[in-house]
Structure 1
């Protein structure tokens, strides 16, 4: 059987029609990531929310049976509820470009978003009545292009993943059967762990070309005790978290099929983070179809959903693997790069 291989960039922008931009405020120690449709495109979109403490904007508009069903951009941001303002900056910028949902005399941009909690992760949060996120949203939209930074960048700038520094990750794959490209981008700020005590990523069985260290699967993967030991130690005590993601494909999917891809992609969270969907997390995944690629039948949709879950698991591990030390929080590369 031919295994799906990463796309040219091994990132979300391997999906035709999408670009990505990051912006950070290093003094605040937080940032924003914008997934932007190209000017001539509005992507079919759906969303799934599974964490116990989500922070979102315009997700109800993407529910099955809704009127809109397509978007101009998706925003992932740090800043907890303050970070929802980032979508306002993107919304205003898109509106100034004449982009959005056609309501006759005007166009209204549709920009759903989700946020993660990084308020207690260092930095100066004493911003008074002027949180930086609306500005960061606009800056990220202006910076959008085919190439973008992973790790401590964008929405992943202030992120922590269990007992390690978190970050922004991405991964892609091309399905050799349908010819469709599938990809994921994620800001990893999880309550749960992405590795065992030995440093082996839980997502290792899905790794491609050594993209997050090439250590392979942990020999202790089935043993939950190291994970619980970290939780019981108080490392994660008092924290609020959330892992937020977008999966996308160039396949031509309708809204129902895009929603099914979002549902299937959620399995990627469970493959890469233990425990997942906790009361402390607001785990959310958006799904996008740009329609720039092939049409698929239901069997093809099953393939794309499974590949999306794999890409999401890989992207989570890459986000932690690519993270550098911006605080005194442990960094995976410092601890485990020689774990083999």
Structure 2
């Protein structure tokens, strides 16, 4: 176990970023098409192909999930991923005729990092298609660095550096993991302290060892982005949870809903009108979960993994600044 979404098995993760632009892309690549659902909780989301995951749709599995910086420009990262998947003949097969291209199903979500000081003078060639292609080509089953990497490079969390983080947990015989690109409006720290809101879920000082002062009292936070976002803008937390059990689309939707609680467990305020909080849930296993009680336990674990992954994203990003 590496305390990583890759502990789930059946997945590869790829990253690409551009230091000059201060942005990046992360790709979640299942070994085989994976059942997937999504929950969107923020008021300013940016997504692609999430409607495909609806309960009444034709499609019941995805070939990749893309997390990207760049706001609306970042949605083009999925173009590069689709091109690579299509070339590999990995996609929905609309016709048995081999001359008809397959249709890769690649839902994606973006975060707003366009005001972080990077060079965004890209003319008519934003870098995201190329970043998406590089990220999927680099996909690996090896544990990866956290913090300023992939979709987390250039992110901010409140007034702090944001980043990309991951965490995993075992519930019975099921492993569940999360990968989070943390770029929220709210702060991950309790006001006036260096203690993460998610400190009760900390395992082995995975994001430091700070705990609240004994006489701690809540105070009005001064380290969120709210005061700096009077004009139109967007922040967000985007990411995914995955588990090595066979869940139905309906069960995965409930898992994604419960996983969103992890954002509220680790950031305050969360799910604001300025955030685009979007989480995907993927299933890579073969053993079904039939008990609602078991599903509830997995949902609770998914929320903890999200909270820990988000805190680790910020912790490792701060360590490198």
TM-score bin, normalised by smaller chain: over 0.9
Q: Quick one: structure 1 residues 156 and 250, their matched pair in 2 at CA, closer, same or farther if it must change by over 3 Å? A: same
Deviations 1:117-145 (A, max 9, x none): 00110111101110000000010001111
How many aligned positions are there? 314
Conserved? CA contact 1:64–1:259, under 8 Å: no
Q: Select the residue among 44, 52, 55 that pairs with 2:35.
A: 44
Deviations 1:57-96 (A, max 9, x none): 0000111222212101100000000000001100110000
Conserved? CA contact 1:17–1:292, under 8 Å: no
Q: Which residue of 2 aligns with 1:9?
A: 2
Partners of 1:248 and 1:130 in 2: CA distance: 33
**Other structure's SS at 1:130 match:** coil
Q: Which residue of 1 aligns with 2:193?
A: 198
Q: Quick one: structure 1 residues 201 and 116, their matched pair in 2 at CA, closer, same or farther if it must change by over 3 Å? A: same
**Other structure's SS at 1:51 match:** coil
Alignment of 1:148 with 2:144, yes or no, is: yes
Alignment of 1:25 with 2:21, yes or no, is: no
Partners of 1:226 and 1:218 in 2: CA distance: 16
Alignment of 1:65 with 2:81, yes or no, is: no
Gaps of 5+ in 1: 1-7, 332-340
Alignment of 1:115-154 (within 5 A): 115-146=110-141, 147-154=143-150
Q: Quick one: structure 1 residues 313 and 220, their matched pair in 2 at CA, closer, same or farther if it must change by over 3 Å? A: farther
Post-superposition offset of 1:293: 5.2
Partners of 2:205 and 2:88 in 1: CA distance: 41
Deviations 1:258-298 (A, max 9, x none): 11101111110100010011111111011101124564422
Post-superposition offset of 1:104: 2.5
Post-superposition offset of 1:100: 0.9
**Other structure's SS at 2:167 match:** strand
Deviations 1:146-186 (A, max 9, x none): 222210000000100001100001000011x2x00001001
Q: Which residue of 2 aligns with 1:336?
A: none
Q: Quick one: structure 1 residues 66 and 220, their matched pair in 2 at CA, closer, same or farther if it must change by over 3 Å? A: farther
Structure 1 stretch 18-27 or stretch 64-73: which is displaced more? 64-73
Alignment of 1:62-211 (within 5 A): 62-105=53-96, 106-146=101-141, 147-175=143-171, 177=172, 179-196=173-190, 197-211=192-206
Partners of 2:284 and 2:126 in 1: CA distance: 32
Alignment of 1:230 with 2:226, yes or no, is: no
Q: Which residue of 1 aligns with 2:47?
A: 56
Considering only aligned residues, what root-mean-square deviation do their CA atoms show, in Å?
A: 1.8
Alignment of 1:309 with 2:300, yes or no, is: no
Partners of 2:77 and 2:281 in 1: CA distance: 20
Gaps of 5+ in 2: none
Conserved? CA contact 2:239–2:279, under 8 Å: yes
Partners of 1:292 and 1:254 in 2: CA distance: 11
Q: Quick one: structure 1 residues 219 and 97, their matched pair in 2 at CA, closer, same or farther if it must change by over 3 Å? A: farther
Q: Which residue of 2 aligns with 1:277?
A: 271
Post-superposition offset of 1:232: 8.8
